[in-house]
Amino acid sequence: MLKRHINLLYRPNLGKLEILVFTRRFRCRALNPHLEFLRSRRTVRAFEDRGVPLELVLKALEAATWAPSAHNSQPWRFVVLGKGGVRGRLVEAMSSRFMEDLLRDGVPEAEAKLMVESSAERLLRAPLLVLFCLAKSDLEEYPDERRRWAELVMGIQSVASAVENFLLALHALGLAGCWRCAPLFCPDVVKEVLSLPSDYEPQAIVEVGYPAEKPQMPSRRPLSEVLRLVDV
């Protein structure tokens, strides 16, 4: 049945309007509560001015550990940051590196300053931050560069799966988050400020809190644009 519905999208005489009507009808019929839950998750950048119970964040992090990982290596590591002096020092150091990069890229100083201040404000304002790291010591070792690179990519993908689980768990617990990749641009800074082990590679930082906004669902490419069927 699913194959027949998908194949309809590729009928050469099917107009754009017909595809739109078809996909909407099919989506309404196909979505069960679990799929609707996935579709309802949103990236939230504005949070209520109240604390987040640590036990809820720990529940969400436990859900993050249920994510799939290459070789079941589970290479994720988590660092939870409250609103203390360490966070302030981290944001200051990251902001300094961000400013350097922007100026090097030719961004006017006044514009760069606004960009840096906006980014820093969000990191400081969020009730909690969770840093996701890749523990490279959990990865398989190979003598050749090709397989070492593949192993690294698999580790990164594994941590990304944990981040997605975490965001979905926050959503289930009435919280919300914003996935930010800023640590990728200054891993040395993050590791130094937080005194992380040498094998930790910062991958992402998630702002966590109770949502103060309900963003609309951003546009998504239709399945027909991103799907290729082979021998099915």
Could you tell me the end-to-end alpha-carbon distance of the chain, in angstroms, rounded to an integer?
A: 12
> Over the stretch 52-106, which tens digit does the pLDDT of each residue have?
999 999 999 999 999 999 999 999 999 999 999 999 999 999 999 999 999 999 9
Single out the residue of 154, 79, 158, 94 nearest to residue 124, CA to CA: 94
pLDDT, mean of residues 170-181: 98
> Over the stretch 4-52, which tens digit does the pLDDT of each residue have?
444 444 444 544 444 444 455 445 455 789 999 999 999 999 999 999 9
Q: Which residue has the higher pLDDT, 175 or 12?
A: 175
pLDDT, mean of residues 124-143: 97
Domain boundaries along the sequence of the chain: 2-41+218-226, 54-87+121-209
Q: How far apart are CA 221 and CA 178, in angstroms?
A: 21
Q: What is the pLDDT of residue 9?
A: 47
Q: What is the pLDDT of residue 27?
A: 54
CB of 228 within 8 A of CB of 159? no
> Over the stretch 185-224, which tens digit does the pLDDT of each residue have?
999 999 999 999 999 999 999 999 999 998 998 999 999 9
Q: What is the pLDDT of residue 20?
A: 46
| Res. 146 pLDDT band, cuts 50 70 90 | very high
Single out the residue of 181, 168, 170 nearest to residue 119, CA to CA: 181
The amino acid that residue 157 corresponds to is: Q
Q: Which residue has the higher pLDDT, 18 or 148?
A: 148
Best CATH choice for the domain 54-87+121-209 from the list 3.40.109.10, 3.40.50.1390, 3.40.50.1370, 1.10.3720.10: 3.40.109.10
Q: Which residue has the higher pLDDT, 13 or 114?
A: 114
Q: What is the pLDDT of residue 144?
A: 97
Distances (CA, A) of 190 to 47, 89, 94, 131: 24, 10, 7, 10
In the predicted model, is pLDDT for residue 226 greater than 70?
yes
Give the pair of three-digit tokens for residue 203: 């991958």
Q: What is the pLDDT of residue 71?
A: 95
> pTM (2 decimals)?
0.85
Q: What is the pLDDT of residue 14?
A: 47
Q: What is the pLDDT of residue 29?
A: 54
pLDDT, mean of residues 102-112: 98
Q: Which residue has the higher pLDDT, 17 or 141?
A: 141
CB of 167 within 8 A of CB of 63? no
Helix axes 145-172, 33-40, angle to 10 degrees: 100
